[in-house]
Structure 1
Amino acid sequence: MMSSSNSEPGPSLAACGMGSSRPMQLLLFLLLFPSFGQGVPQCPEACKCTLSVNGTSVICGPLDSFPKSFPMDTISISVEYTNLSQLSSDALRGLPNLKELHLAGNRIDSLSPGLLMSTPALEVLDLTGNALTGLPSGLFRNSEALHSLVLKGNKLNTLQVDWLEGLVALNWLDVSENQLQKLPPDLLLNLTRLQTLDLSDNMLLELPSNLLQGLSALKKLHLEDNKLQTLADGTFSTTPYLCHLFLQGNRLDSLPSNIFSNLTELDMLDLSNNSLAQVPDGLLDRVGLPQHQMKDGFDLSGNPWNCDEKLHGLYSWLLINQDRMFFKDKTLCVGPKDQAGQRLLEVAKKRVSPKQ
């Protein structure tokens, strides 16, 4: 630094320059700060560069091709909502400090297998709203630092295990709004740090029973707006810390009696807008326990509930957890005929003995 604990503040750079010519001041400045004599890194054409103590952040557009000649200290690149359709295999070469790459809203339909080989520090990759139909095998082989991958709104109709190899630090995976119909059972087996998984707005007809195996850190799971009719027994047996589970907007008409038995940490459960007329006794007994009340709540609305004695187990659970029930006025009975149109919660109050 320019001064030490034993030096006086008087003879600073400004003081030394007093009475000197401007060339002499510049020469002294360059002697004290030699890196400035090497020139200021240029910002790519059609881009805006912002310097910080950590490095350079670059925002580009509009453009038709990926920019070139980024500053070597670039930590973030954003090229979004442009006509960009391709990236060459060396597009990110020479950027070892790159941590974030945002490419949302472009027309990218494929990626080179070697695209990320020279960016080992990359932590965030956002490819929302492109035209990807697949990913190359080995794309993430050098992406051990990547923790957030967003593939939302592309044209993926399948996912393959080798597409995700190397993502040992991934904790957020978003593959929503694609065209997924089926998933391989061991797809997520090595994503042991995953905390948020979003598979919503696809066309999934079923889930492999061991899809979530190994995801012991999973906290939030989005499965809404698919075409699921039921869930395999044991689907959530390896996700004990799941806090938020979204299953609304499917075609669920039946559920195994112990499907939620391992989810004692749930704060939010959404089963709305399915085809549930009845559920087995004990289905929710382990959810909303006295020692862990649901913080956010649950939603059972938009189902064709058949409010007879077969729902006795659900009635009892509802009365205990009614304070956390969403859309009570829209959670209605469809049958039997004498109960049609009544609120499920009101029927529960009538059916369950006050002593219970």
Structure 2
Amino acid sequence: MKHRRSSALPFSALKMNLWILLTITSLAECRYLKRAAQSCPDLCSCSFPPSGADVVCSRSSLQQFPVDGLDPNTTRLSIQSSNLSSITASHLSAVPLLNNLQLYHSNLTSLPSDLLKDVPHLNMLDLTGNRLVQLPPNVFSHASLHSLVLKNNLIEKADAEWFSGNSSLTWLDLSGNRLTGVPASLLHKLPNLETLDLSDNNLQDLQPDALSNLHRLESLNLAGNKLSSLTTTIFSHNLKLSQLFLQENQLRELPATLLQGLHNLELLLLNQNQLQHFPSGLLDGRKSSFQMALTGNPWVCDEGMEYLWKWLTVHPQNVFFLEEVTCAGPGALKHRQVVSLTDTELGLQKIQN
């Protein structure tokens, strides 16, 4: 007689499975109790990754810094779209491990000079969309900041005294303020800067040596200002520059050697300026991946256009919206695409003869 093999598990296997089940249940319960013990401030949401607490507060009804219930292991704190009107060093002392602080779109009008003294690990501070007008000396000298965003405030004057010498900052965004100038003494304190955004201010000029200490600069945004000219050597110390945004200014002409030495330049935006001609040699030595924007300038299509006309003809793939690079004059050529012109129309044959 054949014996059927029993489908039931041996007792030892059942015992092992039961032990595994109890262990998993116990671990889950411990994790639940641990999370339950971790507090979270009212009007905020919290998560607890292994790296430390992550707290987000995004209620307009929030009017005071959420000290109560704030986990001391918080590493990231984001307060956004609130009515927070003040913040102090005492508030931040509750989160000594903080490395990322975002205070967007609140009602902050000022900052105390000692704000960051108790958060020695802070490396990212974002104050976008507040009502800051003036900042005190040394306000950014108390932490090893790598990224500072002051975008869309009401700041009228940038002060070198904000920073200590030889700052570790690599990213500075001052866009969307009311700056009429940026002192060279401020930028000289930021030798590690890789990204600088000064767009959408009221800058009328740059000091000739303003960028001379920024040897690591890779991206410079000067768009949306009132720059009418640039000095010949303004970028001569920024040899790592790969992105240069100069659109929406009032530039009338460019020095022939403006881009000399910038062999890493990948992107140049010059649209919406007052340029009429390009100086001979300006674009020499550009790499094949180089891209440029030129639309919205009043190009005068005469013999002075020869250099740019030839360059566009040879490198059409390097120009955004090439068909929109058109002549503003003379009258007979108005609205013509620059690349569609002939040497006769530009008056070049007459010169050669």
| Fold agreement, TM-score > 0.5 | yes
Aligned to 1:346: 340
SS in 1 for 2:332: helix
TM-score by length of 1: 0.84
> Which whole-Å CA distance do the structure 1 matches of 2:343 and 2:48 have between them?
63
> Which whole-Å CA distance do the structure 1 matches of 2:228 and 2:113 have between them?
37
Matched, 1:293 2:315: no
* 320 and 47 in structure 1: CA distance in 2 versus 1, 3 angstrom threshold: same
Out of 319, 327, 336, which is 2:330 matched to? 336
1:252-331 correspondence runs (5 A) = 252-286=251-285, 288=286, 292-295=287-290, 297-331=291-325
Give CA-to-partner distance per residue, 1:278-314, whole Å, 9 cap, x none: 232112224x2xxx2234x111111111111122222
How many residues are paired up? 328
> Which whole-Å CA distance do the structure 2 matches of 1:71 and 1:276 have between them?
56
Aligned to 2:47: 50
Q: Quote the offset at 1:147 in angstroms.
A: 1.4
> Which whole-Å CA distance do the structure 1 matches of 2:166 and 2:106 have between them?
24
- Corresponding letter in the other structure for 1:42: S
1:180-259 correspondence runs (5 A) = 180-259=179-258
* 41 and 328 in structure 1: CA distance in 2 versus 1, 3 angstrom threshold: same
CA contact (8 A) 1:49 1:59 kept: yes
- Corresponding letter in the other structure for 2:54: S
> Which whole-Å CA distance do the structure 2 matches of 1:10 and 1:67 have between them?
51
CA contact (8 A) 2:289 2:318 kept: yes
* 10 and 134 in structure 1: CA distance in 2 versus 1, 3 angstrom threshold: farther
Aligned to 1:4: none
The runs of 4+ residues in structure 1 deviating greater than 3 Å are: 9-12, 14-18, 348-353
* 220 and 312 in structure 1: CA distance in 2 versus 1, 3 angstrom threshold: same
SS in 1 for 2:90: coil
CA contact (8 A) 1:318 1:348 kept: no
Q: Quote the offset at 1:101 in angstroms.
A: 0.6
> Which whole-Å CA distance do the structure 1 matches of 2:72 and 2:127 have between them?
23
CA contact (8 A) 2:166 2:191 kept: no
Give CA-to-partner distance per residue, 1:233-263, whole Å, 9 cap, x none: 2110011111111111111012222111122
> Which whole-Å CA distance do the structure 2 matches of 1:16 and 1:262 have between them?
66
**Mind listing any 5+ residue stretches in structure 1 that lack a counterpart?**
1-8, 19-24
Q: Quote the offset at 1:16 in angstroms.
A: 10
TM-score by length of 2: 0.85
Aligned to 1:3: none
Q: Quote the offset at 1:123 in angstroms.
A: 1.5
Q: Quote the offset at 1:167 in angstroms.
A: 7.0
Q: Quote the offset at 1:10 in angstroms.
A: 11
Matched, 1:132 2:139: no
Give CA-to-partner distance per residue, 1:91-128, whole Å, 9 cap, x none: 10042211111111001000111111111111211100
* 177 and 85 in structure 1: CA distance in 2 versus 1, 3 angstrom threshold: same
* 338 and 61 in structure 1: CA distance in 2 versus 1, 3 angstrom threshold: closer
SS in 1 for 2:125: strand
> Which whole-Å CA distance do the structure 1 matches of 2:168 and 2:181 have between them?
25
Q: Quote the offset at 1:326 in angstroms.
A: 1.2
**Mind listing any 5+ residue stretches in structure 2 that lack a counterpart?**
1-12
SS in 1 for 2:186: coil
SS in 2 for 1:298: strand
CA contact (8 A) 2:114 2:142 kept: no
Give CA-to-partner distance per residue, 1:210-237, whole Å, 9 cap, x none: 1111111111111111010001121100
Give the stretch that moved more between structures: 222-231 or 305-314: 305-314
CA RMSD in angstroms comes to 2.8
> Which whole-Å CA distance do the structure 2 matches of 1:102 and 1:349 have between them?
57
Give the stretch that moved more between structures: 230-239 or 43-52: 43-52
Q: Quote the offset at 1:77 in angstroms.
A: 0.6
Percent of counterpart pairs with the same letter? 35
CA contact (8 A) 2:160 2:189 kept: no
CA contact (8 A) 1:130 1:154 kept: yes
Q: Quote the offset at 1:15 in angstroms.
A: 3.9
* 348 and 96 in structure 1: CA distance in 2 versus 1, 3 angstrom threshold: farther
CA contact (8 A) 1:186 1:210 kept: no
CA contact (8 A) 1:212 1:236 kept: yes
